[in-house]
Each structure stands twice: as structure tokens, then as C-alpha cells.
Chains A and B, each alone.
Chain A
Amino acid sequence: MNIPADLKYTKTHEWAQFTGEGKAKVGITDFAQDSLGSLVFVNLPEPGDEVACGESFGDVESVKAVSELVCPFSGTVEAINEELLDAPEKINEEPYDAWLIEVSDIGDSEELMNAEEYADFCDEENA
């Protein structure tokens, strides 16, 4: 299981990478893509949309099920990774390169885990 040390993690298996100036990129983790299986669709918000802390900003769909994407902080969608809309498999292949959205003006944030804490959290989920 790949868990990069420089990212922050949520209990709903998203990762966040803070890029400075109140901005962050959000994606789903290796654990998430592995348990979802091969993804076939991604629904993302529009740039300019507001996202709320702990609420859904889109979803990913595998042949098994649709799963909501949860944003760990509030803010404005600065950019979306449009490439994924045509190639959702990139999330399976490179979950940490395949960022979903970039959020600016970050406000409220839920408590995020570091890599070590997230690794323990995944072990518990797997137990």
C-alpha cells in the first residue's frame, strides 16, 4: 500500500496536498482505488463551485458501485483534472498523480491524518 509521507489523509480515503497560498489538491488514495476496483466514470464539479467541509463534491464509479468524493475542507474549486473525465483509469494507475480538484480559499477543515496515522487507520479497516 502506497502512502506518501508528504500528503494529508481523510477517514473517507481522500488525500490532500497543500500547495501554499490557501490552496490544496484533493485525490483518492491507493487504498481507496484498490478497494473500489477499476473505475469507469468520474463526476467532478465545475471550476468556481463552492465546496463544503465534509460534503460530497463529486463521485467515482466502478463496475460495482458509485462512491461519493468528500472534500475535507471548504473553499472554491479553482481547477479540476479534466484529463480524468476521459481516462478514469489514471486514478487506478497513479492515484497520487491523478488529483481530482484543486481548492482555493480554504476555510473550515476537518482534522486530517498524517501518513503514519493513515497507515494505522487502513490497517484497522482491513482488520
Chain B
Amino acid sequence: MKLLFEKSVEGCALSILPELDVPEYRLSEGALRLKAPKLPQLSETDIDRHYSELERRAFGVNNGFYPLGSCTMKYNPRVNEAIAALPGFTQVHPLQPSDTVSGCLEVLKLAGGELCEITGMDAMTFQPAAGAHGELTGVMLIKKYHEARGDFSRDKIIVPDSAHGTNPATAAMCGMKVINVPSGADGCVDLGRLRAVLGPDTAGLMLTNPNTVGIFDRNILEITNLVHEAGGLNYYDGANLNAIMGVVRPGDMGFDCVHLNLHKTFSTPHGGGGPGAGAVGCKGFLAPYLPNGYGEDRPESIGRVKAFYGNFLVVVRALAYLLMLGREGVTLAAQMAVLNANYMKKRLAECYAVSHEGICMHEFVVTLEREAKERHVTAMDVAKALLDKGIHPPTMYFPLIVHEALMIEPTETESKETLDLACEAFLEVYRDCMAAETPSQHPLTTVIRRPDEVRAARESKLIYKF
């Protein structure tokens, strides 16, 4: 596919502009450009077609099943969009006097209250723009807490080896040293190993529960207690909240602060579909350190983490979703997410080896380790073949504690009929891959076949040269 710049034809332009009916104004010499900017010149039709062509090459939740583990690719209800498009929300400026935007402020307050109730926290900020940004904010709160007590010796953050890569990255960005704790055979935190690394230098623990293999850590109260006894704080990574919202609360599990991915759990657009929001909640004793927003003046604040109020319209969408579901709906969504994952896990176990037996939460992991050794059939082969079935592949090669991993999260917004079709596709792909005599050539039907990922990484061409 050609770039806009490559399609550009000198002299081509958009619709004819109306005649100039105001006096012409000439900028001063110093403010004028010396060279014309290099902008593509195309007709409106061609631009429209260009972007439609791009859209056809992309794959979203509205194109098909998207079981991307740990990403909670649930359907984003259209009603969210209708509400976020109301002029009262779009025709405002963040510097307007607050008494002229009381409706918008009410949205933030309401959403904060609902999310505090779901997480068991006392205060919430919507400033962080995404999950990792929320993590950074959360760990900054923990750091500030220790410093405010005059305790400067706590510079270690404990992270299990099954954690999302953003956890150790966050800790490192906060100037903390990352201590890895290996998981036990059940995929949960190894209590003995945890005890061994706790001490007067422990700043805190970063954990997601259910964990990355989709298992709820039954020792969670003991884990958070141990960290508290050592003088550290507990940080809850909200990546997997979809499994437990409305059922159990991180605040009751002993966590002191959390981040939520509104773009995962609360049905706001995800990835390329729009900005994210990494709301951060905390217990009352950490609230004085939260970022200052407009109209808030916390003298001990960690400082602003983003301009103005964060991605406000994302919060509007999340609130619309919450109000639509209501108290019962939130719980039911989590329960259905768990049910759907278990249904798929059971059906896929017909062919695929699951990493951990038993009941899972909202997601589960299968491993192609044996197939890779015996038949050279890898997780990559299965993922690529699924593309030809119109299914977005699951998360691959993650978590790192499972080799040749495929991590599957169907979410609650898929019907049994879709799950059945998807399960049949997964099973058929498995059988085809295992029966194949030659290395897999999939995908055969996509615009881009198998790109040379190694060469792309080694010789990345990221700049377009005119």
C-alpha cells in the first residue's frame, strides 16, 4: 500500500474554498516560512479511500473475536460514544471557571466514587493517561509515603516473575531496584521466597490478582500482610480486574493503591482506538500525595502527572458503562468473563495443553512446548493460522514463565455461539498444524503474510525519506 506522500500529485487539492471576504493579512517577514511544507496533495476522495483502505487492513473487536490475553478486549458499547459526544462534554475547555463545568466535574466525582467502591479505595485520580502511567503514579505514591516518614532506605520493589513487563519498568523509572520473586508450581507467589526478600529496604510489592496465568492467588491476605509487616506497601496492578470486579476488592485483599485500565475493564476504546486512562486509587493515608488537579491543592502532592484532568472523555465513557451495568451488572460481567474463559479452557483442553489445571479466572494459558519440540509446531504457527480463521491471535510468548505460551481471554461480551465457533477454529488449527508435513505458511489470506520480524527489529526503518 502506498503512503499518502507517494500518492500525492502536484496541484491536487481539497474542495474549492469560498472567496476571501475579509481583508488579507500579511505576516511579518520573520514569521514567514522560507520553504513550503512538504504536505501530500490529494483530492478528498483519494484521502477518504486511503484511510478506508488502512481501516480494512486493521482488525478490531468489531471485526471479529479478539481473545488477546491480559488485554480484556471487550466490546465497547456504542452508547458510551453517544454520551461522550454530548456537546456539554465536548464543548468545554479545561481552563474554564469550574462553576461553568459543574456537570463535567460531577462526572469525575461520580466515576471516582464508583471506582473507589469497586476497588475498596478511598480516593481516585484520573490524571494518568494509560496503565503504565498509572503504575508510575502509584509507585510514586509509595515512594513519597516512605520519604514523608523520613525513611529513605526503602528502595526495593518486589515483582513476581509472572508480572507484566511494565511492573519492573515502572519500579526502575521510580529509581527503585527490582527484586524478582519466582512463582511456585501453581503459578502463585512462593511465600518462602517472598519472605526471604522482604526487609527494611522493601518499599513495596507490585502484584496482579488474579495473576498472569489466570489464577486467583489464595494466599493473597498472607502475602499483603507479610509486606505490611516488613514496612512495605502493596500495589495492585488492575490489568486483571475484569475477573473480580463487583466480587472481591483489592482494598480488602490488603492493597494500598491500585491502577485501573479504564480501556480494559470499563469498555473504553483500546490501543489505536483512542487514548487510554489509568485511573489510580489509593487508601486514605496515601491520598495527600495524589497528583494535584484543578481545584485541588495538596501541599504534599507528588505533583502533576498530566495536564488538566487526564483523558476526560474516556472517563465519561467508563461512567456511562458503569451506570448502564449498575451494581448487579458489574458483578455479572465479571462472572460471565470467568465462565467464558472456563468454557473455552475446557473445550480447548481437548487438544491444547493448559499451563495450569483447574478452574481459571478470566483468562488461561496454553503451551505448545511439547509440540514445538516434537513436531516443530510453535505458538507462533498457531497464532498465524488463526488469522486465516478471522480470529485475532491470543497474546503470544507471555507470560515468560510458560514456554510457547498462548494466553487466551475471551471476555464476557462474546456469546456462546461465538465461543463455539472460536473453539472449533482453535481445535482445527491445532490438528492442521500437527498434521502438516511442511513448515506452516499461514497466514495465507491477510494483506501482510509473515513479516521478517528479526530483520525489522535489526534494521528498522522508522523515518520516511522524501
List the interface of chain A (C-beta within 8 A of B): 37-38, 40-41, 63-66, 88-89, 126
Contact = CB atoms under 8 A, between A and B. Distances in A.
8 contacts: A37-B454, A38-B454, A40-B457, A63-B453, A64-B397, A65-B400, A66-B165, A126-B373
Interface of B: 165, 373, 396-398, 400, 453-454, 457-458
A65 B397 contact: yes
A37 B458 CA distance: 13
B400 A40 contact: no
A78 to B, nearest CB: 25
A65 B380 CA distance: 13
A30 B396 CA distance: 24
A64 B453 CA distance: 10
A66 B458 CA distance: 15
B397 A40 contact: no
Contacts of B397: 64-65
Nearest to A87: B458
A41 B457 contact: yes
Contacts of A65: 397-398, 400
B181 to A, nearest CB: 15
A47 to B, nearest CB: 22
Contacts of B396: 64
A38 B456 CA distance: 12
Nearest to B459: A40
A64 B454 CA distance: 10
Given A64-B396, A88-B458, 6 more contacts: A40-B457, A40-B458, A63-B454, A63-B457, A89-B458, A126-B373
Contacts of A64: 396-397
Contacts of A40: 454, 457-458
Nearest to A68: B180
A104 B373 CA distance: 39
A120 to B, nearest CB: 18
B359 to A, nearest CB: 28
A38 B459 CA distance: 13
A41 B460 CA distance: 12
Nearest to B458: A40
Nearest to A92: B454
Nearest to B396: A64
A38 B457 CA distance: 10
Contacts of B458: 40, 88-89
B394 to A, nearest CB: 15
Nearest to A89: B458
A126 B165 CA distance: 26
A37 B453 CA distance: 11
A63 B453 CA distance: 7
Nearest to A40: B457
Contacts of B400: 65
A41 B397 CA distance: 18
A38 B455 CA distance: 9
Contacts of A63: 453-454, 457
A29 B298 CA distance: 54
A38 B454 CA distance: 7
A89 B398 CA distance: 23
B384 to A, nearest CB: 14
Contacts of A38: 454
B444 to A, nearest CB: 21
Contacts of B454: 37-38, 40, 63
A109 to B, nearest CB: 21
Nearest to A88: B458
Contacts of B457: 40-41, 63
Contacts of B453: 63
A88 B458 CA distance: 9
User: Among B373, B398, B400, B454, which residue has the most Cβ atoms of chain A within 10 A?
Assistant: B454
B377 to A, nearest CB: 15
A38 B458 CA distance: 10
A64 B372 CA distance: 15
A64 B397 CA distance: 6
Among B396, B397, B398, B458, chain A packs the most CB atoms within 10 A around the CB of B458
B201 to A, nearest CB: 15
Nearest to B178: A56
B160 to A, nearest CB: 15
Nearest to B453: A63
Nearest to B457: A40
A89 B457 CA distance: 12
Contacts of B165: 66
A89 B459 CA distance: 12
A88 B397 CA distance: 21
Contacts of A89: 458
